[in-house]
């Protein structure tokens, strides 16, 4: 049954007077009065989704009565009712690493629809799209006043082809805006400027309609804006493209986990410490594919910047989003960041009128709950390779010691065998403190009077949207630098330091407070406005330091105020990566050693020769709060965002031609016309069984999208490096995988090419290798091409939480282009599962306790999967036949993680973009 305009849900349209203006809106209370159910106990995050369905029905869409009633049933059933619904976000947010391939796809779709006899102008975003260029700046220069200027110069030199293409897209497509390089990180620009909490638009009758601000983004940390009560999450570029072209996001009504916050943070504890604890708790609780909503009296004294920090790391705790309802702090932040007073008044009136306001009696139904007293949070770091690996600061040196012992296959040290290094990084001296084991390695650095060793901190970076959006931790970092400078402390000479704020406002208030001068003195000069180290754009280490690390097989360390510390992500020279608050990043730069216990040992010695401890330079919460209240003003935000789309003289000088379709430059190594739509017919195909497939990679647990499609640098000996060398690109101009995402030839060669990935088909081998058809070791790319030539389908086997991490669509695109027909894992992370389906690759889950180990898979098996042709249904159980090399045969059951009927249609069409393109061509 479907309902059209004029039936029960259409009657939910109401009028809301705010000041001298009247807005139309869709009333959840009116839906109850219309007999569609009691929605009063829904969490605010689910009310956003419910309003979305009510509103789009009245705009001429069809929606079933059962879809609306399902939300009331969700509350009645204790927070569970996984019904498939069609959700339409208000807008789309992109960054350039994922945005370039998305615009490439749109340009290719214009060519494709033209070939099918359709109108290229049908390929236009129907919803507003903002693309912020923030992922391309690299830290080549650091620690000098000219670092920012030089890094920007190099950014334009390397990326002019990409920037020219994006500027063409801005001119060619409607509803598509580009925020130029050097402005800030997309999530911080979104939080500080683009997001409105309550959005407005004009309907077909000319009335202004108010509704919740919602979005999807091509970056997993799109979730950050949920701190401002804007429902949003990351999707792959292919799903975002479908959304901007009018295709709804097909989803199941999610479970919502309530996370109750009580109490207040203790003195000396930061928002970063809080979020690292939240990540640990929610990973343990299990929230993959679920909404998390934060509530409780602890929010009454939690700044919005802290909320955004928690919301930002939803991908790290595995949730679809981490949502904070609208309250007084939401209004305060909107006012501080320069939003119009009319908008702020609308947000308050709408939230209170339509049941989105978090008041004293806010007590919705949740699927499950957990609770944290902020008073129990302690200073901490997370690492060495997963965000959920929470380590109290008091245990940091000892836990790193254990990690080294495991890395070196050494026994854990006894008290008598423990050693640590002298403050100058020289020879070990026994003093029975936690620290170096007898088996630790060290190495000289050519031309220097110090040595490196296991645990030397070689990168300390204040970076990423997670923390640089938060003035409290940024001011704290500046105060640590000021106090350290006054005592004569400085960074260790082997530490590469950097400051990459999330927006120009941050640089403004650090300058206004006089703290940038102190940060400069410690080596934290401004290096650029962008993601930098957090995305792997840390830039090269000094050659002598890199050589010492690699020649002596040292476990070097990075400390960053980011959200991701996966293996091989930060730097190819660094094997242990730790997430920390910005003030702790400064402290570790001064200490220079992860083996030092910052809570008990001196970071260094003052100019008078006295030991200086962390407590001596740590600012009080009152110091920080007073500085934020005094320095950070509404006018700063208004001034810096006044011409946000204008850009500097370099951006303005980028010249493009006006054309409906893109004139693909044949010699470009950055932008190439992808092969997805070549030879495409007007009619969809069918889903086929997979016969006699071979295993391309046999992988373990927590294989991230960084493992599958790395974003950082690569060497000339890799398949991608060989390709670029053959196209006359010098290694110094390789840039990064992330910057090359507009060229499928580079990206398919970079798939499964992470330097730390371990294919269990090969004993003890790290990197993108496998066995080819002849059984010999070769690169995954070369093996895949040989299998394709022989017409042999491929399968990838994984463990738990396959595809965790970033939303990057190339992890699915590359998998598809290598000829992989299916991925079989124990479980999938939400975004990557969706991306695989969107690229025509079927995700399957093991059942009945089976996994790669219980099945004794070695990688030389032949696998066939039946039950896909014909009447294939969502979440079907299908037989999988395994033929072992020794002649044994075994049949198991797999669960197809094709979750909805719409996803079945995507697979029949070869992917979501093919589905959309065919429908537009027929329209």
Examine the domain organization and report whether 175 and 209 are in the same domain: yes
Residue 475 has pLDDT above 50, yes or no: yes
Whether 343 is covered by a domain: the verdict is: no
Examine the domain organization and report whether 832 and 704 are in the same domain: yes
Task: Determine what percent of the chain is predicted with pLDDT higher than 70.
Answer: 95
Contact 789, 773 (CB under 8 A): no
Instruction: Say which range, 183-187, 367-371, 494-498, has the weakest mean pLDDT.
Output: 183-187
SS3 389: coil
Whether 134 is covered by a domain: the verdict is: yes
Instruction: Supply the pLDDT for residue 396.
Output: 94
| Stretch 766-775: mean pLDDT | 96
| Stretch 65-77: mean pLDDT | 94
* Helix 830-838 vs helix 901-909: crossing angle, to nearest 10: 40
Whether 262 is covered by a domain: the verdict is: no
| Stretch 574-603: mean pLDDT | 95
User: Mean pLDDT in the chain?
Assistant: 91
Instruction: Supply the pLDDT for residue 220.
Output: 87
Examine the domain organization and report whether 62 and 92 are in the same domain: no
| Stretch 581-607: mean pLDDT | 96
Contact 27, 11 (CB under 8 A): no
Residue 421 has pLDDT above 50, yes or no: no
Examine the domain organization and report whether 828 and 910 are in the same domain: yes
At 438, which CATH number? 3.30.499.10
| Max Cα-Cα span within the chain | 82
Residue 644: count of CB within 10 angstroms of its CB: 20
| Stretch 717-735: mean pLDDT | 94
pLDDT grade for 434, boundaries at 50, 70 and 90: very low
pLDDT digits (tens, 9 = 90+) for 334-362: 999 999 999 999 999 999 999 999 999 99
pLDDT grade for 564, boundaries at 50, 70 and 90: confident
- In whole angstroms, give the CA distance from residue 123 to residue 108: 10
Instruction: Supply the pLDDT for residue 10.
Output: 60
- In whole angstroms, give the CA distance from residue 94 to residue 542: 33
Whether 368 is covered by a domain: the verdict is: no
Instruction: Supply the pLDDT for residue 240.
Output: 87
Whether 282 is covered by a domain: the verdict is: no
| Stretch 790-816: mean pLDDT | 92
At 834, which CATH number? 3.20.19.10
Instruction: Supply the pLDDT for residue 437.
Output: 55
Residue 48: count of CB within 10 angstroms of its CB: 23
Query: Quick one: which H or E segment has residue 744?
Result: helix 744-749
Instruction: Supply the pLDDT for residue 4.
Output: 37
pLDDT grade for 58, boundaries at 50, 70 and 90: low
- In whole angstroms, give the CA distance from residue 818 to residue 762: 19
Examine the domain organization and report whether 64 and 210 are in the same domain: no
Question: CA torsion angle for 815, 91, 80, 287 (degrees, to 10)?
Answer: 50
Instruction: Supply the pLDDT for residue 413.
Output: 62
pLDDT grade for 416, boundaries at 50, 70 and 90: very low
pLDDT digits (tens, 9 = 90+) for 104-125: 999 999 999 988 888 999 899 9
| Stretch 758-773: mean pLDDT | 95
Q: At which of 61, 81, 101 does a domain end?
A: 81
Q: Count of H helices and E strands in the chain?
A: 31, 36
Count of domains observed in the chain: 4
Examine the domain organization and report whether 591 and 455 are in the same domain: yes
Examine the domain organization and report whether 213 and 95 are in the same domain: yes
Residue 418 has pLDDT above 60, yes or no: no
Whether 872 is covered by a domain: the verdict is: yes
Residue 640 has pLDDT above 70, yes or no: yes
Instruction: Supply the pLDDT for residue 61.
Output: 52
Per-residue CA distances from 425 to 492, 548, 554, 595 (Å): 9, 13, 14, 11
Residue 258 has pLDDT above 80, yes or no: yes
How many Cα atoms sit within 13 Å of 739 on the Cβ side?
Answer: 27
Domain of residue 650 covers 82-253+645-663
Contacts of 432 (CB under 8 A, 6+ apart): 415, 416, 418
Instruction: Supply the pLDDT for residue 567.
Output: 79
Phi first, then psi: what are they for 467, rounded to 5°? -115, -30
Query: Quick one: which H or E segment has residue 285?
Result: helix 271-285
Examine the domain organization and report whether 27 and 97 are in the same domain: no
Residue 502: count of CB within 10 angstroms of its CB: 29
Whether 355 is covered by a domain: the verdict is: no
Task: Determine what percent of the chain is predicted with pLDDT higher than 90.
Answer: 74
- In whole angstroms, give the CA distance from residue 794 to residue 782: 13
Q: At which of 81, 102, 122 does a domain end?
A: 81
- In whole angstroms, give the CA distance from residue 635 to residue 2: 50
Residue 760: count of CB within 10 angstroms of its CB: 18
Examine the domain organization and report whether 31 and 152 are in the same domain: no
Contacts of 630 (CB under 8 A, 6+ apart): none
Instruction: Supply the pLDDT for residue 59.
Output: 54
Nearest Cα neighbor of 66 from 231, 211, 253 is 253
Residue 736 has pLDDT above 60, yes or no: yes
Residue 353: count of CB within 10 angstroms of its CB: 18
Residue 2 has pLDDT above 80, yes or no: no
Residue 56 has pLDDT above 60, yes or no: yes
Whether 321 is covered by a domain: the verdict is: no
Instruction: Supply the pLDDT for residue 735.
Output: 83
Examine the domain organization and report whether 722 and 624 are in the same domain: no
Residue 535 has pLDDT above 80, yes or no: no
Instruction: Say which range, 212-216, 234-238, 564-568, has the weakest mean pLDDT.
Output: 564-568
| Stretch 811-838: mean pLDDT | 93
Examine the domain organization and report whether 719 and 868 are in the same domain: yes
Residue 789 has pLDDT above 90, yes or no: yes
pLDDT grade for 417, boundaries at 50, 70 and 90: very low
| Stretch 410-418: mean pLDDT | 58
Residue 378 has pLDDT above 70, yes or no: yes
pLDDT digits (tens, 9 = 90+) for 828-879: 987 799 889 999 999 999 999 999 999 999 999 999 999 999 889 999 999 9
Examine the domain organization and report whether 590 and 723 are in the same domain: no
Residue 477 has pLDDT above 90, yes or no: yes
SS3 904: helix
């Amino acid at each position: 049954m479907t309902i059209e305009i004029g039936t029960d849900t259409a009657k939910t349209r109401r009028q809301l007077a705010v000041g001298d203006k009247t807005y139309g809106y869709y009333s959840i209370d009116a839906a109850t009065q219309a007999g569609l159910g009691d929605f009063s106990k829904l969490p605010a995050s689910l009310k956003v989704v419910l309003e979305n369905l009510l509103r789009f029905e009245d705009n001429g869409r069809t929606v079933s009565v059962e879809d609306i009633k399902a939300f009331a049933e969700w509350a009645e059933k204790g927070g569970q009712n996984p019904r498939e619904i069609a959700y339409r976000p208000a807008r789309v947010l992109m960054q350039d690493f994922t945005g370039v391939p998305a615009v490439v796809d749109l340009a290719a779709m214009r060519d494709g629809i033209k070939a099918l006899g359709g109108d290229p102008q049908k390929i236009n975003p129907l919803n507003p799209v903002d693309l912020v260029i923030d992922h391309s700046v690299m830290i080549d220069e650091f620690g000098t006043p000219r670092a920012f200027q030089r890094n920007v110069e190099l950014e334009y030199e390397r990326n002019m082809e990409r920037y020219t293409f994006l500027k063409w897209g801005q001119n060619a497509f409607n509803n598509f805006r580009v925020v130029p390089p050097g402005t800030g990180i997309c999530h911080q620009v979104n939080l500080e400027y683009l997001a409105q909490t309550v959005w407005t638009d004009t309907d077909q009758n000319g009335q202004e309609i108010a509704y919740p601000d919602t979005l999807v983004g091509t970056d997993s940390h799109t979730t950050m804006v949920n701190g401002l009560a804007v429902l949003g999450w990351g999707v792959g570029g292919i799903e975002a493209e479908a959304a901007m072209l009018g295709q709804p996001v097909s989803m199941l009504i999610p479970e919502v986990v309530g996370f109750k916050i009580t109490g207040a943070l203790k003195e000396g504890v930061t928002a970063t410490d809080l979020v690292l604890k939240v990540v640990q708790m929610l990973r343990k609780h299990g929230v993959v594919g679920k909404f998390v909503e934060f509530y409780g009296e602890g929010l009454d004294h939690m700044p919005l910047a802290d909320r955004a920090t928690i919301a930002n790391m939803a991908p790290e705790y595995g949730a679809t989003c981490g949502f904070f309802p609208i309250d007084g702090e939401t209004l305060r932040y909107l006012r501080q960041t320069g939003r119009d007073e009319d908008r702020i008044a609308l947000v308050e009136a709408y939230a209170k009128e339509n049941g989105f306001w978090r008041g004293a009696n806010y007590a919705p139904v949740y699927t499950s709950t957990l609770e944290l007293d902020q008073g129990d949070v302690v200073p901490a770091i997370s690492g060495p390779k997963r965000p959920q690996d929470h380590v109290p600061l008091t245990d940091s040196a000892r836990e790193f010691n254990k990690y080294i012992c495991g890395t070196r296959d050494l026994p854990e040290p006894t008290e008598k065998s423990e050693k640590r290094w002298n403050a100058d990084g020289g020879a070990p001296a026994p003093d029975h403190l936690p620290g170096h084991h007898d088996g630790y390695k060290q190495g000289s650095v050519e031309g220097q009077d110090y040595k490196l060793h296991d645990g030397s901190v070689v990168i300390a970076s204040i970076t990423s949207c997670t923390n640089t959006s938060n003035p409290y931790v940024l001011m704290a970092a500046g105060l640590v630098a000021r106090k350290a400078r006054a005592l004569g402390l400085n960074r260790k000479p082997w530490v590469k330091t950097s400051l990459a704020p999330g927006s120009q406002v941050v640089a403004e208030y650090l300058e206004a407070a006089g703290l940038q001068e102190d940060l400069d003195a410690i080596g934290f000069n401004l290096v650029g406005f962008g993601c930098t180290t957090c995305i792997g754009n840390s830039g090269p280490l000094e050659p002598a330091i890199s050589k010492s690390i690699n020649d002596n097989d040292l476990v070097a360390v990075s400390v960053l105020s980011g959200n991701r510390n996966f293996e091989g992500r930060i730097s190819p020279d660094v094997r242990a990566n730790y997430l920390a608050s910005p003030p702790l990043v400064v402290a570790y730069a001064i200490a220079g050693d992860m083996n030092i216990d910052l809570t008990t040992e001196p970071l260094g010695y003052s100019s008078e020769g006295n030991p200086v401890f962390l407590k001596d330079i740590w600012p009080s919460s009152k110091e920080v709060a007073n500085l934020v209240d005094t320095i950070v003003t509404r006018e700063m935000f208004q001034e810096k965002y006044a011409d946000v789309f204008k850009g500097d003289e370099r951006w303005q000088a980028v010249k493009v031609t006006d054309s409906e379709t893109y004139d693909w430059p044949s010699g470009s190594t950055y932008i190439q016309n992808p092969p997805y739509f070549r030879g495409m017919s007007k009619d969809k195909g069918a889903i086929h069984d997979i016969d006699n497939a071979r295993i391309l990679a046999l992988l373990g647990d927590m294989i991230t999208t960084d493992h599958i499609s790395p974003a950082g640098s690569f060497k000339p000996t890799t398949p991608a490096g060989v390709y670029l060398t053959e196209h006359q690109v010098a290694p110094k101009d390789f840039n990064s995988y992330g910057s090359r995402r507009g060229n499928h030839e580079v990206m398919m060669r970079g798939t499964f090419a992470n330097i730390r990935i371990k294919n269990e088909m090969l004993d003890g081998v790290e990197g993108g290798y496998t066995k080819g058809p002849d059984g010999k070791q070769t690169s995954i790319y070369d093996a895949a091409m040989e299998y394709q030539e022989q017409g042999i389908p491929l399968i990838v086997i994984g463990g738990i939480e396959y595809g965790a991490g970033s939303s990057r669509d190339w992890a699915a695109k590359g998998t598809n282009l290598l000829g992989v027909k299916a991925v079989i894992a124990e479980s999938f992370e939400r975004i990557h599962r969706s991306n695989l389906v969107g690229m025509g690759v079927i995700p399957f889950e093991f059942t009945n306790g089976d996994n790669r180990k219980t099945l004794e898979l070695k990688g030389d098996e032949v696998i066939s999967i039946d039950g896909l042709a014909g009447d294939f249904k969502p979440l079907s159980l299908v037989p999988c036949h395994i033929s072992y090399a020794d002649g044994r045969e075994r049949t198991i059951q797999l669960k197809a993680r094709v979750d909805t009927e719409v996803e079945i249609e995507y697979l029949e069409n070869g992917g979501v973009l093919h589905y959309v393109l065919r429908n537009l061509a027929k329209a």
